[in-house]
Structure 1
Amino acid sequence: MVLSGLSGRSLRPWAVVGVAVVCLVAGVLALTHDPRPAHADPSAHADPSAHADPSALPHTTVEVSPSRCGRGWTTPVSGVQVFDLHNPTDGPAEVLLEDPRSQAVYGEVEDIGPGTTRELTVRLGRGAFAFKCVPDDADAVTGPTVRVTKGRSGPAAAPVTEHDLIPPALAYQKWVGTGLSEVVRLTTALRDAIDRGDLPAARTAWLPAHLEYERMGAAYDAFGDADRAVNGTDAGLPGGVHDQDFTGFHRVEYGLWHGESAAGLRAPAAALLKAVTALRDGWAQTRMDPAQLGLRAHEILENTVQFELTGRTDYGSGSNLATARANLDGTEQVLARLRSVLAGRYTGLSGLRSELDRAGRTLDAFRHGGAWTPLTGLTHRQREHVDAVLDDLVERLASVATLCDPRRTV
């Protein structure tokens, strides 16, 4: 798996369509209007706000400045409706619609630019609501409480803070440390087979070493530049697969399945072992960002669909489906650490569990002992089925990324 474009984002990396931020909160789809398709939790399909035409709904203009947060909402109505959130200030703002007592969030829009208006579509019923305005450089301000007297609201979720995510992140980081030791052990076996000139044994040893590394996808950002040395591709390299900067598992894979001699592979294998050993030895001093853990649960399989199911990372071994299975295993490891955070917040958790099992069965059907069917060996219908199952899972995991994105509460 190759994670790309995960750092340096100016927007929170939730489900993003162009410049429209899609807020998936426990099955309610609160979105800025954009006609293009969005990643959506399938459980949102029962919510009318997920498909309502904003132009046919009641609109209320609400100001989101710190001094007049929530002003303009004076005639509350129930049902699906649109709030036109106007920012008259000279700085960007984030806005949440929440229960002022519990702070459970019904909808959110980020990065409302100065002088601009963005739409928030939600379904509201009996209860109390208030807008919270969160300027970039000032304290959060909660507007007036508004009460709706009838109807049923869409789902809401309690906000997650960075403090909530620290224990899961520490537990995951400890698991990665154990996994890195196993990667070093398996990569040593790969290097040893190449050193003694036994290329069939090296081809056998390559896959388990690579898959063990692939299971740790949520840590790749913390690995930094070391990840490219271990698991990079030839993308962007002037010399392609023959470029001196093409290193790591895929460099060794290319040589093993394209007739390179053991003598030619000794240096790349030694460099790979050195790189994974350095990662293992330095991991105790590395600190993962807890705020990124939920995002990684989504990004791992999103990149699996983009790179593994398209064959873009196949350098001869034909092991993309095996890598996809390892990525699925890695996703489950992240979710296991986040379960306490998601329980009570994500109404689709049991459905997600079912879809994870379904994806596992789908991929395992192409494993035959220690061998895997290559992508080229799948029929068109089989390819479509695998794509559909993984695509559906990626959409469900977008809700995990959203719910686990820490929010400012003050």
Structure 2
Amino acid sequence: MPRPSPARLRSPRIWGAGSVLLAGGVVAVLVLTGGPDAAEEGATAADGLPHTGIEVSPSGCGHGWQHPRPGTQVFDLHNTSGNAAEVYLKAVDTGAVYGEVEGIGPGTTRQLRVRLGQGSYAFMCLPDDADAVTGPTVRITGGGRSGPAAAPITQHDLIGPSIDYQRWVAGGLDDLVRQTDALRDAVTGGDPAAARDAWLPAHLTYERLGAAYGAFGDADKKINGTTAGLAGGVHDPEFTGFHRVEYGLWHGESADALRAPATALADAVTALRDDWAQARMDPAALGLRAHEILENTVQFELTGRTDYGSGSNLATARANLDGTRAVLARLRPLLATRLPELPQLDRELDRTQQLLDGFRTDGRWTPLGELDRSRRQQTNAVLGNLVERLASVATLCDPRRTV
């Protein structure tokens, strides 16, 4: 499936538009004018909630919270320093983060809406290019339960899972080399039926490696590129890899015409396998990929945009689900204590797998175009719901500064 541009490789939090997504809860953030005096502490604003002005600066982090209270409330975070900063509201005893706002510019006020119960809290200010500063501890007595919170995950926490995942990818690349060699041999041997049979297993093996694409670099385009952006379409010389071979196999091209593309594909896969030992995945991207793999599945596979004749989009979606599970397996120790919705996420993964497995009968995958409207809508809904749930994984695994 096509990979997102670098600009899309980011957490699903929409900081620029003013949103914070934390553990499945969405908190509105609005850009205001004025500083902490814009709202008297505890005053009820137009939104019907009490507001408290909070200073954001190295010397005055958290100042202004004089009369703590339980319940849902809004903190007006005003950056009085000369540098942009991010701010966490955390539990003092556990370090769990109840809310966060990134990119508060100098002189800017932004809002953080949270629900707080009994406990001890403090603001942490993290200026750009400076050490973190924790403000005074504030204690709340009484009140109901606090809103969602999670212990922050750091870059260091993700190193182990990332290394383990890289080892798993190495095994997948060994399998892929064998399968693309078999595909090349079938093509060069002039056996199109055998080549079509060999194409799908090889392609699905590659699709299962979804979280590693960012580390594959230019090799991904050579191996799994599409005609997107190519002036010549399927006849463009830059159209290479699995989909180029797919087009030829399912459109009656001769063995002579396909020999070079099949050989180039096998060579590119072998080169990727040989270079993988020196590759380094970004640990910070692992959680994001858990969400992104199926997000791209919905965008490209369930729309048929990557079908060049084989009708295998639903098989690819199933392989992408396997790829998502492989990432989640490495992240599970971190998620187990941070994501209360993890059991429900597991149920949705099983539900999606059952649905996709139903499209395979006697070794044949149903082409996307053969689904009636009801089944098409059901598939879109189930995958779309799973993508939404995985957004929380990406958010929780977005590394946070602690110093």
TM range (shorter): over 0.9
- Whichever residue aligns with residue 29 of structure 1, its letter is V
Instruction: Give the secondary-structure state (helix, strand or coil) at the position aligned to 2:86.
Output: strand
Partner amino acid, structure 2, of 1:183 = L
1:235 Cα shift? 0.7
Is the 1:87–1:115 Cα contact (8 Å) retained in structure 2?
yes
State the distance in 2 between where 1:312 and 1:217 align.
18
Q: CA deviation at 1:19?
A: 2.5
Change beyond 3 A, Cα 1:3–1:269: same
| Residue pairs, 1:47-126, within 5 angstroms | 55-126=47-118
Deviation at 1:142, TM superposition (A): 0.7
Which residue matches 1:32? 29
1:131 pairs with 2:118: no
Larger radius of gyration: 2
How many Å separate the matches in 1 of 2:239 and 2:301?
19
- In the alignment, what sits opposite 1:207? 200
Give the Å deviation of 1:32. Answer: 2.0
CA deviations on 1:6-50 (whole Å, 9 max, x unpaired) are: 4586xx52332762242223x44334259xxxxxxxxxxxxxxxx
Deviating beyond 4 angstroms after TM superposition, the runs of 4 or more aligned structure 1 residues are none
Alignment partner of 2:139: what SS? strand
How many angstroms apart in 2 are the aligned matches of 1:287 and 1:330?
Answer: 18
Quick check: 1:159 aligned with 2:157? Answer: no
**Which one of the candidate residues 190, 208, 212 is aligned to 1:197?**
190
Which amino acid counterpart does residue 149 of structure 1 have in structure 2? T
What's the CA shift string for 1:100-133, capped at 9, x where partnerless?
Answer: 2321111111112222222211110101111111
Amino acid across the alignment from 2:254: S
Separation in 2 of the partners of 1:399 and 1:218?
17
Task: Pick which of 143-152 and 323-332 moved more.
Answer: 143-152
Is the counterpart of residue 232 in structure 1 residue 225 in structure 2?
yes
Instruction: Return the alpha-carbon distance in structure 1 between the equivalents of residues 82 and 378 of structure 2.
Output: 49
Report what 1:287 is aligned to.
280
**The one of 369, 376, 390 aligned to 2:369:** 376
Between 1:54-63 and 1:164-173, the stretch displaced more is 54-63
SS in 2 for 1:66: coil
Deviations 1:257-311 (A, max 9, x none): 1221111111011110011100101111111111111111011011111111111
1:20 equivalenced with 2:18 (yes/no): yes
Q: CA deviation at 1:173?
A: 0.5
1:148 aligned partner: 140
2:390 pairs with 1:397: yes
Provide the C-alpha distance between the structure 2 equivalents of 1:210 and 1:61, rounded to a whole number of angstroms. Answer: 55
Distance 2:349 2:342 in 1: 11
How many equivalent residue pairs?
389
When normalised by structure 1's length, the TM-score is 0.91
5+ residue gaps, structure 1, are: 35-52
- What per-residue deviation string (whole Å, max 9, x for no partner) do you get for residues 229-282 of structure 1? 111111111212111111111111111112211111110111100111001011
Aligned pair 1:310/2:303, yes or no?
A: yes
- Alpha-carbon contact 1:54-1:82 (below 8 Å) kept: no
Deviations 1:192-221 (A, max 9, x none): 110011111111111100000000000000
| Counterpart-to-counterpart distance in 2, 1:310 and 1:331 | 19
SS in 2 for 1:109: strand
Give the structure 1 partner of residue 37 of structure 2: none
**In structure 1, what is the Cα distance between the partners aligned to 2:330 and 2:28?**
29
SS at match of 2:402: coil
Separation of aligned partners in 2, 1:315 and 1:209: 16
Is contact 1:3–1:299 with CA below 8 Å preserved after alignment? no
1:387 matches 2:380: yes
Shift of 1:97: 0.6
Partner residue in 2 for 1:353: 346
Match of 1:180 in 2: 173
In structure 2, the residue matched to 1:38 is none
Q: Which runs of 5+ in 2 are unaligned?
A: 32-44
Inter-partner Cα distance in structure 2 for 1:159 and 1:4: 27
Gap change, CA 1:250 and 1:365, over 3 Å in 2 = same
Query: CA separation in 2, counterparts of 1:82 and 1:199?
Result: 65
Query: 2 CA distance for matches of 1:388 and 1:54?
Result: 36
CA distance in 2, matches of 1:218, 1:375: 24
Q: Which moved more, 1:293-302 or 1:115-124?
A: 115-124
Measure the CA separation in 2 of the matches of 1:17 and 1:141.
Answer: 22
CA distance in 2, matches of 1:120, 1:380: 43
CA drift of 1:54 comes to 7.9
Q: CA deviation at 1:362?
A: 0.9
Structure 1 Cα separation of the partners of residues 78 and 374 of structure 2: 48
SS of the residue 1:56 aligns to: coil
Looking at structure 1, the residues matched to 319 and 206 of structure 2 have their Cα atoms a distance apart, in angstroms, of 9
Aligned counterpart, 2:3: 3
Contact 2:80 2:106 in 1 (8 A): yes
Q: Displacement of 1:370 after TM fit? A: 2.0
Matched, 1:275 2:268: yes
